[in-house]
Structure 1
Amino acid sequence: MLTPALRKPQDGTRKGGHGVIEVNVVDDQVLIRAGLVALLRAAPGVEVVGEAGSGEEAVAVALATRPDVILMDIRMPGLDGIAATRRILAEAGDTPPKVIVLTTYDFDEYVYHALRVGASGFLLKDTPPDRLLSAVNVVAAGDMLFAPSVTRRLIEAYGSTVSEQVPPVELDGLTAREREVLQLVGRGLSNADIAAELVITEATAKTHLNRVMTKLGLINRAQAVVLAYETGLVTPRSR
């Protein structure tokens, strides 16, 4: 579903947050995909640069167009939205897109796994248009789409099952301060809040978080929240 005229120059630049937000739409149902595309094309500051009807096609289109945001159907035959998201983020290099997964059910194991592999958030397919457009702008700017309490509820429901199947992540490579920062991120604190809590500058808090993300191979803040809970740095009781 890719049109050559929509290809984005491979110069490493991104527009999200300070210009036109370039979006890919992925859904195996033609009518749903067409409705999302029409909604986005009518919105100011948003440009649809690619469409896909399968997971395999989503990967190819994402690598060709390098969008800022991808709306990704989570359940598709063949390569599903989770596997497609993992491949896209792994192959995107230093400028990965923000992925919002689209689901019929707000709490299910598919959503949890999507957040684990690096999705920035999720939306129900019946989300009102204004909220969907707001979500695109939020993740394009690098912000979290949902409250940490949502992640906690997902982990409580599915985390124990996942922990039995996936080797635990080692935090030994983190300094004591970096572990503190990861814990505070898991509690939902912003960089400014972390700085106030630890009595450091906001720039220093951001530097610590960036080091945590690099050492642990994390893509975004949502993934850091998941990891903070899964490693026991944060528990529902500790909140």
Structure 2
Amino acid sequence: MPLLRDTALADAFDRGSGRYDRLVSLNPGYHAQLRRSARRLGLPDGGAGRRVLDLGCGTGASTAALAAAFPAAEIVGVDASAGMLERARAKRWPSRVRFVHAPAEELRRAGVHGPFDAVLAAYLFRNLTDPDTVLRTVRGLLVPGGRLAVHEYALGGRRADRLMWDAVCRGVILPLGTATGDRTLYRHLWRSVAEFDTVPAFGARLGRAGFEDVRVLPLPGWQTGITHTFVGRRAAGETDGAR
């Protein structure tokens, strides 16, 4: 079965949205690791006077991580799944947080315009049909010197990392997906990670998209070697009209 993409993937997330928060709560450190990746954007003064884009915000877990890390920033959460966004919007948020329903490829059409001081994309890029185009779009939305943090399942490249991921999927993720009726979505999760870039490959992809000072930062716990934060910066002297 091919990987889910575009509308098919959004539909699968729509169907699974009601159970999503409960399932991810079973993942040790899930929310703490999102907060760690959010803090790695490094905005000063609690984000006062800054705008942050949460690209692929899902049910709002990454949005909450940004709101905790930068309590004074304006945050725009975007997701392609109407069902996931419905769950996100149902939660309590300060007025500085808003949500937009749009695929990552159609931000401008949905009225999402820069400049943003920082962008967080959690568990997004391995699900995109054309990640390179979206990376270039994100770079154009950032202020000169603005940062992108990608929080993503990307295997470190060691055989042990792949074996660990396969074991967790066979022993935990797929059985949970089957029990909840979401096996297709969680089988996609397994395969999307296995078939996505390794850490060196995605770091190189960021560089090709024009990001500077690309760093790959590990995350602790059982996901060491499986989940990473990639941080890159738009060149400080770069300007264009992509707003």
Q: Provide the TM-score with structure 1 as the length reference.
A: 0.36
Q: Provide the TM-score with structure 2 as the length reference.
A: 0.36
Higher-Rg structure is: 1
Q: Which has the higher helix share?
A: 1
Q: Which has the higher strand share?
A: 2
